A and B are shown apart, each in its own frame.
Chain A
Amino acid sequence: QVQLVESGGGVVQPGRSLRLSCAASGFTFSSYAMYWVRQAPGKGLEWVTVISYDGSVKYYAGSVKGRFTISRDDAKNTLYLQMNSLRGEDTAIYYCARDQRQHSYGYPLEYWGQGTLVTVSS
C-alpha cells in the first residue's frame, strides 16, 4: 500500500535552515508528481510547492518562493524540502502528498503522509 513518511521536523531559530524528507513506498515514485502542503497549528491547509514526476517542473507558493526548494531522488524514493531563512509564520505541520495521476501534475492529492512539525522560534 502507498506510504509516505515525513521526517526532519523540529525546533529551529528564525533565519536558520531545515531540510524535510518524505520517504515513499508502495508505488512507482518516479511516475508521480509530489507536493508539500502545510498547516499552521489550528489553521487551514496551505499548498507550499510541487515537483513534477520527472523533476522538470516546480512551482512554489508566493510565501515561500526564493526561500524553499523542492527536490526528489528517485533512486531513494525520497522527496525533500529545503527550507532556508525560516520565519515564525513557517511554523506548521508539513505534509507530503502524492498526485492522483501518473506522468502528470496538478491533479488532486490522493495520498498524504502523517506530517512533520516544524516550529520556528528563538
Chain B
Amino acid sequence: EIVMTQSPVTLSVSPGERATLSCRASQSVGTNLAWYQQKPGQAPRLLIYGASTRATGIPARFSGSGSGTEFTLTISSLQSEEFAVYFCQHYNDWPLTFGGGTKVEIK
C-alpha cells in the first residue's frame, strides 16, 4: 500500500497570501495524483488531477506540480472561501490512498 504523507498538518495564512502544501508518496505514483478541497460539512471537491491539471471550474490561482513521490499544491492568493482542508490522493494502483490532509486556516 502506498502511504501518502501531507505537510504541514496546519497552515496559517493571511487572506491574499500564497499557500504551499506538500504531499509525499512512499513510492512513485508518476503523475497519478489528485488534490481535493473539503470545507466543513461538505463533500470533497476535485481540484487537480494528473498532478497539475485543474479540474473543471477551478480557478487559475490553484496550481499543482510534481511527479514521482513529491507533489505541491499552490494557492497563489487565498480567498476567504478557500480556508478548508486539502487532501492529496494517488490513483496509481490499488488500494487508492489519501494523505491525512492539510488544514489551511486564517492567520
A23 to chain B minimum Cβ distance, whole angstroms, is 15
Can you list 28 pairs linking A and B with CB atoms under 8 Å apart? A44-B87, A44-B99, A44-B100, A45-B36, A45-B44, A45-B87, A45-B89, A45-B98, A45-B101, A47-B89, A47-B97, A47-B98, A50-B96, A61-B95, A95-B43, A95-B44, A106-B94, A106-B96, A107-B91, A108-B34, A108-B46, A108-B49, A108-B55, A109-B44, A112-B44, A114-B42, A114-B43, A115-B43
- 11 further interface pairs, Cβ-Cβ under 8 Å (given A59-B94, A107-B91): A44-B98, A46-B98, A47-B89, A47-B96, A50-B96, A100-B46, A106-B96, A107-B49, A108-B34, A109-B44, A114-B43
Q: Is B45 an interface residue (CB 8 A)?
A: yes
B100 touches A100 (CB 8 A): no
Q: 1/0 per residue A87-111: CB within 8 Å of B?
A: 0000000010000100000111110
